[in-house]
Amino acid sequence: MYIEEISISASVGDFETEQPPENQTTAATLEQVNWMRRCQSEFTLFDNHRLSVKTQGFVQNSPDYTINIGILDPHPKRLFKISWGNMLVFVGLCGAIWLFAFNSLAQKTTLVAIILSVCAGLSLILAIYRSHDRLVFYSQSGRVPLVVLFNRLPDRVTLDSFTEVLIQHIKDAKAHYMGTIETLNEELKAHRHLMEEGVISNKRYDIVKQRILSQHGDRGR
What pTM does this model have? 0.77
Distances (CA, A) of 3 to 193, 197, 212: 15, 20, 12
d(CA 67, CA 64): 10
Residue segments in the chain with a per-residue pLDDT below the cut of 70: 1-23, 58-62, 103-109, 178-180, 216-221
Task: Note the pLDDT of residue 138.
Answer: 96
Task: Note the pLDDT of residue 8.
Answer: 40
Q: Verify cis geometry, omega within 30 degrees of 0, for the bond prior to 154.
A: yes
Q: State percent of the chain over pLDDT 90.
A: 46
Task: Note the pLDDT of residue 221.
Answer: 46
Task: Note the pLDDT of residue 186.
Answer: 86
The answer to whether 144 and 138 have CB atoms below 8 angstroms apart is yes
